[in-house]
């Protein structure tokens, strides 16, 4: 009986404020947010991106899949940014210095955003990294990838947004 009580207590303790606030899926309206880029500028969604196809990607430097995938995203971004594709890489839970060093190391050019308390990630229902949302110009989620995706898969979803 004590073991069951201990297990129940541990499960309840695990259900604290760190749990995602939402489960954003295809067809959902993407939650709004305001934050800062690693370079210091402010970013407001959806105000700054209305009418533009947007990819929002949640990541961290400790994520073993994030580095390679971020480089693959960079290749797709370079091919399609002139067509209007926007990419935001939102770091979940790390500080500005860590983010800036990682972005410089891997050489991506799309904006890296701060989410030091993971509030934005929780509002999007992120439960694993990487997680990527493909959002149309009206702010509707059109695709979602939880976990690693290759360049071909990422580009296929990006091209759907650009139609």
Decide: helix, strand or coil at residue 23.
coil
Q: What confidence score (pLDDT) does residue 22 get?
A: 76
Q: Let me know if 61 is exposed, middle or buried by CB neighbors in 10 A (0-12, 13-18, 19+).
A: middle
Q: What confidence score (pLDDT) does residue 19 get?
A: 52
Class of domain 21-162 as given by CATH: alpha beta
Q: In the block, which residue shows the tokens 């890296």? A: 112
Q: What confidence score (pLDDT) does residue 21 get?
A: 62
Q: What confidence score (pLDDT) does residue 16 get?
A: 40
Per-residue pLDDT of the chain (163 residues; tens, 9 = 90+): 444 333 333 333 333 445 556 789 999 999 999 999 999 999 999 999 999 999 999 999 999 999 999 999 999 999 999 999 999 999 999 999 999 999 999 999 999 999 999 999 999 999 999 999 999 999 999 999 999 999 999 999 999 999 9
Distances from the Cα of 83 to the Cα of 54, 76, 114, 138, angstroms: 12, 11, 26, 17
Q: What confidence score (pLDDT) does residue 17 get?
A: 46
């Amino acid at each position: 009986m004590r073991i069951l009580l201990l297990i129940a207590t541990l499960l309840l303790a695990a259900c604290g404020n760190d749990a995602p606030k939402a489960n954003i899926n295809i067809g959902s309206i993407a939650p709004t947010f305001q934050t800062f880029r690693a370079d210091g500028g402010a970013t407001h969604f959806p105000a700054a991106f209305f009418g533009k196809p947007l990819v929002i990607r949640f990541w961290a430097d400790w994520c073993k899949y994030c580095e390679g995938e971020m480089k693959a995203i960079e290749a797709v971004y370079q091919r399609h940014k002139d067509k209007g594709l926007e990419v935001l890489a939102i770091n979940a839970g790390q500080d500005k210095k860590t983010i800036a060093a990682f972005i410089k190391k891997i050489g991506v050019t799309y904006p890296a955003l701060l989410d030091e308390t993971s509030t934005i990630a929780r509002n999007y229902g992120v439960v694993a990294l990487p997680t990527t949302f493909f959002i149309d110009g009206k702010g509707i989620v059109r695709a979602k990838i939880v976990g690693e995706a290759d360049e071909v898969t990422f580009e296929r979803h990006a091209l759907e947004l650009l139609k």
